[in-house]
Amino acid sequence: MQDRKSRPRGRLLVVAAVLSLALSACASADSNSQSQSSEPVDGGVFRLATVAEPAGLDPALVFDGDSYRINAQIYETLVTLAPGTTSEVVPALATSYTPNEDATEWTFQLREGVTFHDGTPFDAAAVKFNFDRWKNFPEALQSRAELYGTVFGGFGDAGILESVDVVDERTVGLRLSAPRPDLPITLTLPVFSIASPAALQEYGADEVDAASSEFANEHPVGTGPFVFDSWTHGDRVELVRNEDYWDEPAHLDRIVFKAISDAAARLNAVQAGDVDGADMINPRDVEAVTANSSLQLALRGSCNSGFVAFKSDQEPFDDPRVRQAVSHAINKEAIVDRFFGETGEPAWLLMPESIPFHDDSLENPEYDPDLARELLAEAGEPNPVVDFWYPTDVTRPWLPDSQGIFQAIAADLEAVGFQVTPRSATWTAYLQDSKTPAYGLFLLGWSCDYGAADNFYGGAFGYIDSAPNPRYQYTSDEFVAALETAQVAPEDQREAAWAQVQRIVYDDLPVVPFVHGSSSLAFSTRVHGYEPNPVLVEHLDDVWLSD
């Protein structure tokens, strides 16, 4: 997520794989992680302290976690992720779908009896309207709707989405000019939420010049279990229950999302009872939460990695021995222990074990300062002088304490001979500037959009317009070939193909992963049924409050 803007565009999948992913019947989300002892109670206001305000409530145009979670209550996608998973696709507005043999034509069967919050019906025409809207975004909006471009390889006719056809009122066909066997999981992305065509038009969702779309601020209209009520800018967003929801209506009367950026203040707020839940608890405070009998903790699990990144084309990092030295110099266990505790695992691959096709045979390079020193000596660089960058004002599941983690890694590097000059910048500037050569050595991470190997390896290191990602300058024909093979490999060869991709990156070390981190939430014990998800698509219709 943090790195989304660097997503490669226009990389297409070339060969087809026959898919028969007929969906099972509607999987009802009823896996209650907190307490299953009592019967859910209806009613009540659920107040959640979030890190930031949403960027906007037009789901097609935003990609921050706080917008994701609010939009996931107001809108629905054709298919979605099963509660708590990152890769299990389950039906939502579509009850089933069927691809043709080469995965270029997809037919979606739509759910009956669904209406938008404004009373207009949800049907094939509405789905077509939304897809056409995304496809034909004016240029000014395209950079804000980047994920569409990534999935379909570009906007308008530059992309692979040829046409969207209304077969009948309940059936929609998507016709692609190239195969996309993994289309279903990409359609779980919140950017593919179906909004009310009437509201989109009435409230000027695409008027770029006015730019302040009324739709995204005052009138977001979807089909979800909650209806938008109000947004007090700088303070909170409120939603109320959708009484006419097509499925069981939600338990809660109302949800209040309240933005508090200071982590200590969020925990104070939930402990004082001013909110019922607080997001992104500092790992150091996890123990305080679990030890407190009036609080409970929910861990999201990890779908990310934090790493030390290089510009692989720059001295001294163009020498693989220097990168290996870094990999052996960092005491990952100690860092994870100190800064993540129970919320992190040491990492050596880009993706955590829970992601399909993770290669378990690759092992963590040993922490060995002596070996690191030897490698530096062999490389003829016993004391490389380096600028080492870190971001200052950001909290991520893989970076809960950027200054602390930076200092620990810098100390490890200096212990083996590096001479580190600390450099820092604020997050927005950091993301933009880390693509420039000034950032030879820097801290970064990758958070997934959905749990798939391609989302990690293709996303981070895939070529953009046949050039390596400027952030890492990782140039490897071998890697690109292996990646392209894996993306379209038939089912029985996928595991081997993705293992090959992981092996190449593991050997080349364009980045040195050190952690798979997990963010966590603290709730008062009144809260039940909140299913945390590392991709932050969290449906709150099963949340209920006791007493």
Partner 1 sequence: MTAYVARRLLLLVPTLLALTVLAFLFVRALPGDAAVAILGPNASAESIERLRETLGLNLPLPQQYGEYLAGLLSGDLGTSAVSQRPIAGEIGARLPATIELSVAALLIGVPLGIALGRFSARRAGSAADATSTVVAVVAVSVPVFVLGLTLQYVFAVLLNWFPAIGRVTNSGAEERITGFVLLDAILSGRPDLLLDGLHHLVLPAVTLAAVPMAVTARIARAAYLAESRRPHVRIALAKGLAPAKVRRDHIAHNSWPPLVVVIGLQLGALLSGGIITENIFGWGGLGSLVVSSIRTRDYLVIQSGLLVLALIYVLVNMAVDVVNARIDPRLRSAR
Partner 2 sequence: MTPELISPAVARRTGVLHTALRTPGAVVGGAVVVLLLLVAVAGPLLVPHSPTEPVPGGLAAAFAPPSLDHPLGLDGQGRDVLSRMIAGTRLTLAVGISAVLVGALIGTLVGAVAGSVGGVVDNATMRVVDLLLAFPSLLLALGIVAAFGQGRTQVVIAVGVTTVPVFARLVRSEVQRQTGLDYVSAARMYGSGRGRILLRHLIPNSAHLIVVQATLMLSTTVIEVAALGYLGLGPADPREAEWGSMLTEATLTMRTEPQLLVWPSIALVITAVAFNVLGDGLRHAVEED
* Sole binder of partner 1 in the list 28, 36, 136, 212 (CB under 8 A): 212
* Sole binder of partner 1 in the list 21, 27, 29, 55 (CB under 8 A): 55
What is the torsional sign of CA 245, 248, 253, 254? Answer: negative
Residues 6+ apart with CB under 8 A from 492: none
Is 537 an interacting residue with respect to partner 1 (CB under 8 A)?
Answer: no
Of 16-24, 102-110, 210-218, 356-364, the segment contacting partner 1 by CB under 8 A is: 210-218
- Binding partner of residue 509 among partner 2, partner 1, none, CB cut-off 5 to 8 Å per kind: none
Instruction: Compute the distance between CA of residue 135 and CA of residue 151 in angstroms, rounded to an integer.
Output: 11
- The per-residue DSSP string of 362-425 comes to --PPP--HHHHHHHHHHTT-SS-EEEEEEESS--BTTBS-HHHHHHHHHHHHHHTT-EEEEEEE
Which of 178, 181, 151 shows the shortest CA–CA distance to 60?
151
Nearer to partner 2, 344 or 529 (CB): 344
Least distance from C-beta 424 to partner 2, angstroms? Answer: 5
Nearer to partner 1, 97 or 137 (CB): 137
Nearer to partner 2, 412 or 542 (CB): 412
- Taking CA atoms, 228 is separated from 3, 118, 217, 519, in Å, by 29, 11, 10, 27
Nearer to partner 2, 189 or 408 (CB): 408
Least distance from C-beta 393 to partner 1, angstroms? Answer: 6
Nearer to partner 1, 270 or 303 (CB): 270
* Sole binder of partner 1 in the list 157, 235, 333, 387 (CB under 8 A): 235
Least distance from C-beta 65 to partner 2, angstroms? Answer: 19
| Angle 249-252-257 from CA coordinates, rounded to 5° | 125
Instruction: Compute the distance between CA of residue 193 and CA of residue 187 in angstroms, rounded to an integer.
Output: 9
* Sole binder of partner 1 in the list 16, 17, 19, 56 (CB under 8 A): 56
* Sole binder of partner 1 in the list 170, 254, 284, 338 (CB under 8 A): 254
Is 234 an interacting residue with respect to partner 1 (CB under 8 A)?
Answer: yes
Tokens of 87: 């890769």
> β-strand 385-391 against 419-425: which pairing, if any?
parallel
Nearer to partner 1, 163 or 261 (CB): 261
Which helix (H) or strand (E) segment holds residue 254: the answer is strand 254-259
- Binding partner of residue 410 among partner 1, partner 2, none, CB cut-off 5 to 8 Å per kind: partner 2
Nearer to partner 1, 383 or 428 (CB): 428
- Taking CA atoms, 432 is separated from 305, 425, 438, 491, 518, in Å, by 20, 10, 11, 38, 25
Of 24-32, 228-236, 343-351, 503-511, the segment contacting partner 1 by CB under 8 A is: 228-236
Least distance from C-beta 7 to partner 1, angstroms? Answer: 9
Residues 6+ apart with CB under 8 A from 209: none
- Binding partner of residue 406 among partner 2, partner 1, none, CB cut-off 5 to 8 Å per kind: partner 2
Q: Which residues bind partner 2 (CB under 8 A)?
A: 263-264, 267, 282, 284-285, 287-288, 331, 334-335, 337-338, 392-393, 401, 403-404, 406-408, 410-411, 422-426
46 three-state secondary structure: strand
Q: Applying CB under 8 A, what is the total number of residues that bind partner 1?
A: 52
Is 127 an interacting residue with respect to partner 1 (CB under 8 A)?
Answer: no
* Sole binder of partner 1 in the list 170, 338, 435, 503 (CB under 8 A): 435
310-315 long-range CB contacts below 8 Å, 24 or more apart? 310/440, 310/441, 310/472, 310/509, 310/510, 310/511, 311/437, 311/439, 311/440, 311/441, 311/472, 311/473, 312/472, 312/473, 312/474, 312/475, 312/508, 312/510, 313/473, 313/475, 314/437, 314/440, 314/473
Is 258 an interacting residue with respect to partner 1 (CB under 8 A)?
Answer: yes
- Binding partner of residue 30 among partner 2, partner 1, none, CB cut-off 5 to 8 Å per kind: none
Is 426 an interacting residue with respect to partner 1 (CB under 8 A)?
Answer: yes
* Sole binder of partner 1 in the list 427, 475, 503, 546 (CB under 8 A): 427
Is 5 an interacting residue with respect to partner 1 (CB under 8 A)?
Answer: yes
Which of 469, 348, 444, 424 shows the shortest CA–CA distance to 1?
444
Nearer to partner 2, 276 or 412 (CB): 412
- Binding partner of residue 211 among partner 2, partner 1, none, CB cut-off 5 to 8 Å per kind: partner 1
Is 232 an interacting residue with respect to partner 1 (CB under 8 A)?
Answer: yes
Is 428 an interacting residue with respect to partner 1 (CB under 8 A)?
Answer: yes
- Binding partner of residue 204 among partner 2, partner 1, none, CB cut-off 5 to 8 Å per kind: none
Which of 285, 250, 248 shows the shortest CA–CA distance to 265?
285
Tokens of 528: 């039940």
- Binding partner of residue 408 among partner 2, partner 1, none, CB cut-off 5 to 8 Å per kind: partner 2
- The per-residue DSSP string of 72-88 comes to HHH-B-SEEEPTT-SS-
Least distance from C-beta 523 to partner 2, angstroms? Answer: 17
Tokens of 80: 């979605």
Tokens of 308: 């030390």
- The per-residue DSSP string of 278-316 comes to ESS--GGGHHHHHH-TTEEEEE----EEEEEEE-TTSTT
Instruction: Compute the distance between CA of residue 116 and CA of residue 306 in angstroms, rounded to an integer.
Output: 40
Instruction: Compute the distance between CA of residue 512 and CA of residue 510 in angstroms, rounded to an integer.
Output: 7
Could you list the residues that contact partner 1 (CB under 8 A)?
A: 5-6, 9, 45, 47, 49, 55-56, 139-140, 143-144, 146, 211-213, 216-217, 229-230, 232-236, 238, 240, 253-254, 256, 258-262, 264-265, 268-269, 271-275, 393, 426-429, 431-432, 435
